[in-house]
Each structure stands twice: as structure tokens, then as C-alpha cells.
Structure 1
Amino acid sequence: MGKVLRPYQLEASDAAVEFLTKRQGKPLIVAPVGAGKSLLMAELMRRAVELYAPMRFLSLAHTSELLTQNAAELALHAPHIGFSFYADKLKQKNLTGQCIFASIQSIYRQAWRVPKIDVAIIDEAHLTGKKDTKMYRGLLDVLWQGNPDMRLIGYTGTPFNLKGGWLHEGDDALFDEIAYSISMTDLLADGYLCPLETPQMSTRIDTTGIRTVAGDFALSELEAASDRPEIIEECVREIITHGQDRKKWLVFAVSVSHAEHIRDEIRRYGISCEAVTGKTPAADRRAHLQRFEHGDLRCVVNVMALTTGFNNPKIDLLALMRPTRSRVLYVQAVGRGMRVHPDKRTCLVLDMGGIIEALGPVDKITVKQARSSLPQDAPMKSCPSCHAFAYASARECIKCGHVYPVAEGEVNLNDTASSAAVLSTQKVEPLRIPFDSVTYKRHEKVGSLPTMLVEYRYGMKRYREWVAFQHTGRARAKAMQWWMRRTNGSPAPLSTDEALARVGELAKPVAIGVLKQGDFFEIVEHYFEDELEVAV
């Protein structure tokens, strides 16, 4: 008997299976840290075998930790599916399993030895950068020669690569569509992720003048700016001050030397601490992490070693002493503290590199467009109806047809959100717009369910929202709330046409509240006259 899936896990699995059975393409499933990607992959295999019993899978990842983690989940959730490993670091090269868990580094040159594969799965798909894409592409091309009908699906918490480009765009893209996404904001709201806190910091590593290479700071220059005794002393002093009531600390460093200097400084305060880097022997690494897990070690300093494939839900303090402009590294690092555990209420994030100010709240990050002709940063947004990702510049959601707000004659808004807020859930007061008129229209995109377009005009400016009466899940729930608030609780329409026929029942707000999200405005509040009178 497999695990009981959460509602969004069922939705994600349905989307993945739909691609296998009814649709073409190479989809991505986007699920942030803590969403249970290992379980999602196991559920995909379980359901695929139910439908097509003789299926064989190849599950690819870049670390042995991920391979063993995903295999353990499959063994628990679908024990009838046998598996084997093909990974140098695991000292196993077995291609006989119904599911072969393989490291891309070990198997891509041995593609000719791999038996016929029906479904190839890539875990942590955001790591398929240009160099890695060549490895994956070379392997997959050989596999497709053996089975032209082989399906490919990727799982990731961040649908963009280390350089900031979308995984499903560009000439070298391995994937072509986002089949399903669940937002970090929703997982936080539903209690599946641990809330984050960010105190005001008095120490910051100065990155002024450091070049950016491939979307992030040049490492040699960053190390020179970060690995300085006076900087380390001040940063560690803040960690000690803020971490007094925190039990498990994870620190991110720039280099091996930097990590060792941080470790030594933390030890000066009598805190048990070890460094885990690419040079740490495997046996020592396992011993350090076991001590950390069992509570015998309070702090671990790491250098790009514990950003993926490392899950310790008890971590309640993150110290970001590795400044970055990589959105992937930022999300992965902060995600290490977002798993829930009964022993912690929040996770404290200490940002010593100005990361949060530069990249914004971790649940509302921005992403660079993939096309070289458009190198500027473009905000990433989530569709309020179906939660699919899109550029802020996109006019319509490619999945459900929702049309995004357009700010014509843009209002001059300063950034009202605290630049140090690691989550967008920090309360930010919206700009109140006393609009002139409101209209209701039907909006429909081919292949998508219709929605009701509500457009508010204020002078030459327009602000829009879409009410999805015919959708399911969160979108339908939001539509019902929207309607009932305007009709004193009368039943919400079942269709867009019914809603348009009943617009005469709707009370009109006297103003709307908008927040600037990148280059567009999102309607986040409605102000009604009777509610304002009560408030007064």
C-alpha cells in the first residue's frame, strides 16, 4: 500500500500521467522543496505500471544522494517495482532493474548499453545547463534511437537553469512545456512548508565591483571579498547572536578556504561545527551529516555541497555567507530550511550578501528570458487561476488562457515591500485605485475553459482580473469567494455565461488595491463602501 498523496500531489501526478497517455511533448513538473518530488516520481511509475505493466524507467540525477533518496521512496510507495543503480559513486553498475537509477555522469557515455527505456525521468532538471544538456542530449538521443516512443519528463523546484533561463525555452531546451506547478506560496499557506524569518542584519559582504559570469558572481573575486578575517568575525558574531535559541545551523560559504575559516571562527565560541565541501572525503561527509542529523553537531558549513539532495527538516537557521545572483542557488539554499518539523516553528535566514534585496522574496523570484536578444531580467509570475508559470510580459497564460493585468500609463510606484523580506507573505499595503468604471466580459482561449474578464478603468489606465467559475480547485474556490462577497452570499454561478447573465446582482467596489509585481500590477484587494463604513 503506497503513501496517501496530498491534493496537489494528486493533481501533479494526474498531469504527468496525462502526458504519458494522451499528450505529446516533454513536460516539466514544478514542485518546490518540501513538495515531495521523490514521491511524485514514484507515483508516476506506480500508475504507469498499472496502465502498461511491462514499462521500464530510467531515473537520472546528478548526485548519489538523490539516487538513493528517490529509490528509497519508490521502495516504500511501489515495492513491486524492482530497481537497480548505475552510479560510480555507489560502486554499482546494474542495468537490470525495471527502474534504473543512474547518475548522468556515469551513464551518458554508456548509452549503448542501456536497455530499451519507456520513460526517462530527470530529477533536479534545473541543473541541465548547457554543458549538462549535452550529456543528457547525447544519452537521450541514443535511447530514442532504441525506442522512438520513449517519453521524457523532468521534475524541478525551479523551472529555470543556473544562468536564469527557462528550462522549456531556447534552442537547447530539453523540455517544451510546464505540465503542472505548485507555488511555494500555496505550500506555505497550506502548512506544508515552514515559514521563514529574516532579522535586520548589521553585517554585509560588499560585492561592489565584482563581475558577474554566467549569471553569478565571479568566484575568485567573490572569495577575495568574502574570505577576510574581519568580515568572517562580524558575520559569525551575528550568527551567534541570532542563533542562540536555534538548534541546527546550516551555513553557505564561497570556497573551501572560506568554509574552513568560518568553521574555525564558530568553534571559537564553543559551538560544534564541521565543514562539508567537495574535498571532504566521503566517509567524513557521511559521519558529519549523521552527527548533524542526530544532534551531536550543531552547525555545518558547506560549499555547494548541500543545496540539493540533502534533506534535514530540523534545520532552523540558515546563514547565507555566500553572496549570489543565481536565482537557482538562492531558492535551493533557502529551501534547505523550509521543510516542516514538530521541533521548529520557523527557520531563521541570515542574509549577509544582500541576496534577498537583489532577488526579492524567495516565493516571488524573477527569471531571465532565455532568448539572447532579450537579456534583461523579466519577472516570473504564477497564474492566479491555474498556477502555471509565465513571464510577467506574457499577456495570456499558456495553460488556461487567463489574461494577465496590463498597466497602461504605469503608475509611479516605489517598491513598498521590505527588501529584506525573504517571503512575499510579509504584509505590504496595496496602492488604492478609485477606478472610474468596471466592465465584465467573456474571455476564452482555444483549448482552455472560459473565464470572466473584469476590467477596471482609471483614466487611461486599465487593471484586470479573471474569475474562473468553470475551473476546479483553488481557482474555483477563489471565484466563489469573489462572487459571494459581492452578492451577500448568493450561490456562485457554475459557468462564465451564467455569471455574465447575473452581473446585475453584483455590488461594485469603490476602489481596488493593486501591488506592483515586476512590470505589471496585480489586483489584490477590493474595497466596498459598507465595509469601509464599518471600519471607520
Structure 2
Amino acid sequence: MEIDKRLITNSATGNMLKEIASSLQECKQFYFSVAFINFSGLQLLLDPLKQAGKKGVKGKIITSTYLHFTDVKSLEKINTFDTIDLKVFVTDELDRGFHTKAYIFEYDDFYKIFIGSSNITQSALKSNVEWNVEIISKHEDDFVQTILKEYAEIWDLSTVADAKFMTKYQEMLEKMEQVVTQQKQLVAQKDSYIIPNNMQRRAMDNLHRLREYGETKALVIAATGTGKTYMSAFDVKNVRPKRLLFLVHREEILRKAKETFELLLPNEKITFGLLTGNAKDYNAEYLFANIRTMSKHYEKFQSDTFDYIIYDEAHHATSPSYQHVMEYFQPQFTLGMTATPERADHHNVFDLFDNNVALEVRLHEALEEDLVIPFHYFGVTDIDEVDLSDVDIDNIAEITKRLKVHERVDFIIENMEFYSHDTNKRKCIGFCVSRDHAQYMAEEFNKRGYTSIALDGDDSIEKRAMYITRLEDENDPLTVIFTVDIFNEGVDIPSINSVLMLRPTNSPIVFIQQLGRGLRKHPMKSYLTVLDFIGNHSKTFLIALALNGNRYYDKESLKVAIATGFANIPGNTHIQLDEISQERILAQIDQENFNSMKYLKEEYFEFKKLNSGRTPLYLMNYLKYDGAPDPVKFIDKAKTYIGFVAKVEKDEQLKVLLYDETFEAVLKELSSMLPLKRIYEFVILRYLLTHTSISIPQAMQEIKKEIADVDEDSVLHAFQCLNQDFYDHLQQKNKPKLCTHHNSVLTKTETFAQFVETDHEKSRLIADVIHFGIFRYHKEFKNTYYGVPFLKLYEQYQMIDAALLSNYRKIHSSFRGQGLLTNGKEYFLFVDLHKEEDIKDSINYNDMFLDRKYFQWETPNSTRQASERGKNILFNQQNHIHLHLFVRKYKQIEKGKTEPFIYIGKGNTVSYQGEQPIQVKLELEHEVPERLYTEFTERV
């Protein structure tokens, strides 16, 4: 038998963890020899090891004390498996290093062996740059026999990991722990704080650009723990204001903020001071104040005393105490910072900062940028005794009753102990469905020896703070706080290492808020353990929406994400749904139509509940929550958002607003442009909300506040689009004209002016669509200038977008369907991979990915090799023709919704054959990312 070899690396579609886990399920016996094992890696293998043991698969594991990296918790956990023998190579006694990384799997007539660089740690198994070679060979092969002989020799030299060894090793590690802790804290300070991270640099660049173009206010939205205070200090260091005011809501973070600024501005000869109940440093150049004290003393300062004011926790800035202070002071620049803009009750925090968002970093991006710790999520099917299949998910009393089962408590504890947690002490938040449920859980945990407490909104802030302090104290026995929702947002408990999801998930927003409680970085914590007990209620699939981290999903991409273990989640985050939960979720997704009116209504009313029961009248409401539904789907259903709300709410007042047919037509015209793929038109319209006209130079300046650059011809094209130059006759007849273009000046029409200048309510609704369009654009495109055509790799587009983004100066409505469209040297190839008749079983084999680098495409049937168009395609590089490839898997997945195409980038013809049509092989300029390639080629 020839030896088969394969290189295993960690990538978006595969990793060492996946290879080990699948091999454990198939082998007869296994033998591991790894220098290091820590619990972050072992936890990811617990289920595969457990399942292998149930099948009777036995194994041996050798690890070492080399560099004292292996932890006792991992050794103790391995010893709980009856099917595994464990030994430790003690390097101190043998005076030899130990650095093996080998995984040997025995099958009936061959061995599979991985040898390379991966130890059993979360990074080595998931995300590090690691090279491991898979070798498959027969039992009698010399190489296999050499490996087994070497393994046996090391086994004989190693020590059994019994209680005596564990005690001795633990004592030695404890002696070192204090030194290691101090080193970690120093590294954390040095690496995370003194040097700006990517988020901080992006925010500073955007703030600089906004100030350059005359803006005086901005808002930064970033998840807790991502370094907003340090970012603001870095920005202040760049701006160097003479006087600074830093305002906070909670006094406990005031001194930390002051210390941060003092750390980053040590030699600037600046005086720092506090304004609190106990300190009154009025003359300090950089003053750090709590709002309670400042709201009583602000008139002791001149209104222009401070050049730069920072409002931390800016979601509170809509309250009266903040408003008095904000209205009084007139600084040169105002910065708001928040992790939770949604907490601004009845008011819009965006408006307070002139709708200038310098940066928004939500959970998925925070994970990608390594701004928060990764999480290990285990979706565990709930016990049979808990049946939620026939209960309304909003019937809290009934759900509470059904969850209060002693067997469920035992099951939760069993899983909690099996998966364990990071660090020595468990510090856990358990999210419950009601106050009664939380109190029940605390009582039952206490009976079983787990010191626990229930907290809810009725408990005082002082009581909550006291229990949080106890939970974080390494020496306090308190290990679990059960709560309903008071820790969903805004509460900072950095050392939390475990989260229990004990309630049915009925909202991706709440799920993300609860998950986020444990993701703040902490020197002694490397990951968060999340246990979600998944019942059989009708909305289980919402877990998948929350975990997928993508608001703009379709049924197919969601199913692929589940099937591939959410490979699109970055870094060391691990998501594991057990088989029953996975099947249950996939079945629900198959049955659900995400574009049906029934589903959209449910999504809307669930969001309304989270909006404190208030009707979300504005699109901007949806930008405040991580995990909120995409309101563009509501617009697609009713042509305008207000039209959708009026329909589902049966709101007569809103319907009366829409009786004004011209107003409704304006709203429809603006809404039809969403989601924006080019920001120019909406930035121009935003300017015209408060001005009569705009010139091309003025428009360029306004656009450069939002993106890094813009070309003059594209701005002229935007003027022409707003003048309806490229509408067909029917569109010009039926659509209201918002602007007129003459001599390179764009002027708003009377139709547009009457609503934005004279009617406050209608003006606000129009402004809302415009602001939402710009905000939503920034989520996907940030501030990058993509040139012409204005195309971003792997973004979603419809065919007509290509006309807009390539400055096409003929009727745009001709860009419809699929096929080949051209604009000068720009050729746009729009391809459906699967035939329309049967999206599940039929594939158009003529158009397909050959691999991640090459794509096979057939030209339109009429194309001949000798024609001008044929030559331009076949010899595109010589003729300076750009072939832009757009691909979609299916034209339609769900009834009533045409799927967008994904821009794959430019390709160049490397070979061709045939005639009418010509079959062309394209070499792609950008290799398709593995995650996207899997989505296009995976069948679920």
C-alpha cells in the first residue's frame, strides 16, 4: 500500500480539531503524544472523546511537564474517562525537553497518523498557523512500526498521572502562578493598551477625517471591553486640546478613565483632576467628572471652557441631567462613546451626535479583531421531561412551570461539570425565564452545594454590586448568579468565565446581549464557556440566526453555516450543536419562510417588545441593537417601512400620513434605493435636507466626510441619477423627482422641499430613510473608496447595481436578470450556478467553480469567437477588458424573493473551446475564500 499524505492547516473550512474529532468517531483505538494540553483545547475534544468511549474506543495519551504549560485541570478531566490511559513525561526529572505532537488512530487494516505542530490548545486546534501532515499507511509499514515503537518507549519513560503525581505537580504550578499572573498583567497592559489596536486606529482615522471636513460631533459604538477609553485617550493625544472634560454616568469607572489618560499622556505637563461629590478640581486642565456632580456645578465654568468633551456611556446622554450640560457647553469637538446605543429611552442618541458614527464594532467584528475573548458554545438538547412544543414562547408563567424540574437541574449541573470552565474558580451567570425561575435555580443549586444567588431588577444597585464583587473574588464561595435580564447589557463583570442559557431563545438580540456579558478580556481568562440547553419550542432556529453573526442571511447560507459548525465565526470561537439540536434547527429552517408576512410580523413584534413595547417608528431604531432584524425586508414587503408598520399595527394615524400620495411616492422612491451600494446620492440628499442646492465641489466635500475619497465623474453621475437621466419613460412618469440638475448644480424640487421644510413629521420620516441608508451602508462598506466600478469583493449585488456603480450613462433598467452586460471596457458576468426548475437536485454544470482559483463560464448562446465581443472575452487582457464575475447559488430560495449575486472579483480568460456558446476558463484575480467557496459548493 502506498503511503497517502495530506497537509492539514487551520482555515475557514477545516482545522486540526475537525480532523481529530472525526477520526475519533471512526477509529478502533488511538494514541496521542503532545507536549502541551490545556483546558481551552481539551474542552473542544470532550464530546468526541465521550462519543468514542461510548463506542468502546480506547486510547492512550502522553503529555509532559515541559515548560509547565500543561494544566492539572486537563489531566484530572482526562482521568475521568474510563476508556483513556494517561501518562506524563516529567521533563524536570529526566532533564530532557519534550515537544512531540502526534495523533495516531488505529483502524482494522491501516493507521492514520497526524504529525506536525499542533498541541491540544484552542489556538493550536482552531486558529494558529499550524502544519500537520496526515499519513495513512498499512499496519505492517516500516514507518508505522517505527512510530509505534517510539511511542511505546516514551510511554514506558512516562509517569502515571495518579493522585500523588497531581498533588506534587499542582504544588509546583502554584509556586509559579503568582509570577505568571504578574507577567500576564504586564503583557496585557503593554500589548492591549499602549499600542492602539485596529479598532482604535480606525476610530481615530475616522474622527480625524470628520474634523477635517468641519464636523464637531461624533459617536463611537463598540462592544464592552474593546478599548473605547484608550481610543479616546489616543485621540486626545493627537488633538491636544488645552482643556478636556470627560463625563461618565457611573463614578466607579471615573478614576480608571483618569488613570488611562495619565498613563498615555505622562510627559505632557497636563494637570488632571476629578469633579465628584468628594473632589472639586475645577481648575484641572483635564477634568474627569460624574454627571450627577457636573449637572449641579456646570455654570461655574464658561460655556467655552472645554475644547474637547467626551461623554462615556453616551446612551445616557438623552436624559435631562445630561441635556442641561450638553446644551450649556460649546466645545470645539464632542465625542460620545457607548456599547449600547439602544438604551436611550424615548430618544435618539444618534441625533445628539449629528448622526456622525466614527466607528461601529459589534460582536462578530469584535471577535474577528480579537478585541474580546473567544467563546466555546455547546448547544445541548434539553431533557425529555421538559416539553415546550405546545406552549406559546411568550407565556412566561407556563414556561417557568415547565422548566422547574429537579431532573433538569441535575442535568444542567452534570453538563456544567463535564464541560467545566476556564480558570480555577467558576464565575457564572445563569439567564432564566423569570424571577421565579431564577429563585428556583438558586435554591436548587445551593441544595446541591453550589453557592448561588438570584438577582433581578427589583434588587438595589448596591446589592447587585455586592454580589458581583463576591462573584469576582477568587476566595468567595459564590459561583453562580441567576438572573432574568439585568445583566443583558451595560454591566461589566470582566472575569465571568461561564454563561448558562436556561431559557428558550426567542430573540437574537437578547441572546447576543447575554453572550456578551462574559466576553470582556481578563488577564487570567482565555475563553468563555457557554452552555445552552435547547428545548423543542418552535423558535429554536433563532439560535442559529444569533450565532451566525450576519443580519443579511438566507435559508441556504444559514443551513451551510450549521452544517459546517459555523466556520464563518472567526478565531478560537467554537460552536457545537449536538446532533438532535442540529437536526431540529435544520428542520425548522426548512419549514420557515423568512420572507413570509407571518414571519416578518413575528420578527417585528419581537423587536417591538425589546423596544420597551413602543412602536419602532424609525428605521434608525434597528441600528441600535446587535442582532436586530433587517428592516429592508419589511420595506420589500410594503414598499415603505411606515407602510409596513401601519399594516401590521393597524395604525390609522400612520395610514392617514400615507393618504398623501406624493409623500408616499417620495418615501417609496428613497426606500427603493435601499440597501445602498453607493453612498453618494444619499449624502447629497442629506445635505439637501437643510440646503436648497449643492454644487459638485460641495458634494465631494460632503462625501469625503463619509468615505476616504471620491472621483468627480462619479459625483456628476450621482447628480444625473438624482435628475432621473437614466430612468425609462415609465419610471419618469411614475416616480417623483426629488432634484433637478443644471450647470453642475443640483437643486431640490418643490416636491422634495415641501416635505423636508414645512412638515415636521414627514420631514423626520424622510430624514430617517436617508440617515438609515448611510448608516447601513457603513456597516458593509465602512469608509473605503473602491474606484470605478465601485465594487467590493464578496458583497451582494443585483444586476442593476452594476449600471449605477460603473457610471453607466444609458437607461439603467436594461440591467436585469442574468447573463452578460457591458459598459465600455467593463464586462459584467452574472451567473446562476443551479438551474431554476429544481434548486435542490439540478445543477447547471456548464457554469461552475472548478476550484477556488478557476471558474468555468459559458458565454451567451449567440457569442462567436470571431465577433468583437467574443475576442474581447477570449483575449480580455490584451484588449484591456475587465471581466467582473458575479455568482449566486440559486435565483430563488424562498417564494417571493430573488436572491442577490455575490461579486467574486475580476477574472482573466486562460483557455476556451466551442462556439455559440463558447466555454471559457477564467483564472480569478482573487482566490475565493474557503468559507464562501463552501457555501457555493456545499449541498445541505
- Contact 2:495–2:525 (CA under 8 A) maintained in structure 1: no
In the TM superposition, what are the counterparts of 1:349-364 in structure 2 within 5 Å?
Answer: 349-350=531-532, 357=542, 360-361=546-547, 363-364=549-550
Residue in 2 aligned with 1:467?
A: none
Letter in 1 for 2:200: Q
State the distance in 2 between where 1:457 and 1:333 align: 41
Residue 472 of structure 2 is aligned to residue 292 of structure 1: yes
State the distance in 2 between where 1:382 and 1:316 align: 40
RMSD: 5.3
Residue in 2 aligned with 1:55?
A: 243
Aligned-pair CA distance for 1:312:
1.6
Letter in 2 for 1:121: I
State the distance in 2 between where 1:234 and 1:522 align: 49
Residue 206 of structure 2 is aligned to residue 15 of structure 1: yes
State the distance in 2 between where 1:92 and 1:324 align: 46
Q: Residues 121-154 of structure 1, C-alpha deviation per residue, up to 9 Å, x if partnerless?
A: 22233455xxx444432221122xxx3x442211
More helix by share: 2
Letter in 1 for 2:337: Y
Q: Residues 20-39 of structure 1, C-alpha deviation per residue, up to 9 Å, x if partnerless?
A: 45531421122223321121
State the distance in 1 between where 2:208 and 2:220 align: 11
- Contact 1:439–1:456 (CA under 8 A) maintained in structure 2: no
- Contact 2:218–2:353 (CA under 8 A) maintained in structure 1: no
Residue in 2 aligned with 1:307?
A: 489
- Cα 1:323–1:110 change in 2 (3 A) is farther
Q: SS of 1:191's equivalent?
A: coil
- Contact 1:205–1:352 (CA under 8 A) maintained in structure 2: no
Q: Residues 382-441 of structure 1, C-alpha deviation per residue, up to 9 Å, x if partnerless?
A: 9999999965996796855767745589xxxxxxxxxxxxxxxxxxxxxxxx95236578
Aligned-pair CA distance for 1:249:
1.4
Q: 1:437 aligns with which of 816, 820, 826?
A: 820
Residue 444 of structure 2 is aligned to residue 265 of structure 1: yes
Q: Residues 367-390 of structure 1, C-alpha deviation per residue, up to 9 Å, x if partnerless?
A: 899972668953599999999996
Aligned-pair CA distance for 1:505:
7.1
Residue 333 of structure 2 is aligned to residue 151 of structure 1: yes
- Cα 1:139–1:293 change in 2 (3 A) is same
Residue in 2 aligned with 1:282?
A: 462
Percent same amino acid at aligned positions? 16
State the distance in 2 between where 1:58 and 1:176 align: 21
- Cα 1:267–1:7 change in 2 (3 A) is same
- Contact 1:183–1:363 (CA under 8 A) maintained in structure 2: no
Q: SS of 1:294's equivalent?
A: coil
Q: 2:234 aligns with which of 35, 39, 43?
A: 43
State the distance in 2 between where 1:56 and 1:152 align: 10
- Contact 1:292–1:300 (CA under 8 A) maintained in structure 2: no
Residue in 1 aligned with 2:416?
A: 243
In the TM superposition, what are the counterparts of 1:68-467 in structure 2 within 5 Å?
Answer: 68-79=255-266, 81-87=270-276, 95-114=282-301, 116-128=305-317, 132-143=318-329, 147=330, 149-161=331-343, 167-168=349-350, 173-196=352-375, 197-202=377-382, 208=392, 210=394, 224=397, 228=401, 230-231=403-404, 236-237=409-410, 239-244=412-417, 245-246=420-421, 247-253=426-432, 259-276=438-455, 279-280=459-460, 282=462, 285-286=465-466, 288-294=468-474, 296=476, 297-302=478-483, 303-305=485-487, 307-319=489-501, 321=503, 325=507, 327=509, 330-340=511-521, 343-350=525-532, 357=542, 360-361=546-547, 363-365=549-551, 372=617, 378-379=630-631, 399-400=783-784, 405-407=796-798, 436-437=819-820, 439=822, 456=830
- Cα 1:277–1:159 change in 2 (3 A) is closer
Q: 1:32 aligns with which of 223, 247, 254?
A: 223
Q: Residues 149-181 of structure 1, C-alpha deviation per residue, up to 9 Å, x if partnerless?
A: 44221122355446799742xxx6444111223
The structure whose Rg is larger is 2
- Contact 2:366–2:372 (CA under 8 A) maintained in structure 1: yes
Q: Residues 296-345 of structure 1, C-alpha deviation per residue, up to 9 Å, x if partnerless?
A: 43222345257325142452334364977593x55443212223466444
State the distance in 2 between where 1:234 and 1:258 align: 15
Letter in 2 for 1:274: I
Q: SS of 2:630's equivalent?
A: strand
Residue 902 of structure 2 is aligned to residue 523 of structure 1: yes
Residue in 2 aligned with 1:496?
A: none
State the distance in 1 between where 2:237 and 2:209 align: 14
- Contact 1:59–1:122 (CA under 8 A) maintained in structure 2: yes
- Cα 1:250–1:93 change in 2 (3 A) is farther
State the distance in 1 between where 2:827 and 2:296 align: 52
Tell me the TM-score normalised to structure 2 length.
Answer: 0.38
- Contact 1:31–1:37 (CA under 8 A) maintained in structure 2: yes
Letter in 2 for 1:139: V
Point out where structure 1 has 5 or more consecutive residues left out of the alignment: 211-220, 410-433, 443-451, 460-483, 488-499
State the distance in 1 between where 2:256 and 2:534 align: 31
State the distance in 1 between where 2:444 and 2:887 align: 55
Letter in 1 for 2:415: H
Tell me the TM-score normalised to structure 1 length.
Answer: 0.62
Q: SS of 2:404's equivalent?
A: helix
- Cα 1:112–1:300 change in 2 (3 A) is same
Aligned-pair CA distance for 1:253:
4.7
State the distance in 2 between where 1:273 and 1:266 align: 6
- Contact 1:30–1:159 (CA under 8 A) maintained in structure 2: yes
Q: SS of 1:111's equivalent?
A: helix
State the distance in 2 between where 1:391 and 1:349 align: 37
Letter in 1 for 2:392: T
Q: 1 or 2 for the larger relative contact order (CA 8 Å, sep ≥6)?
A: 1
State the distance in 2 between where 1:44 and 1:335 align: 26
State the distance in 2 between where 1:519 and 1:37 align: 40
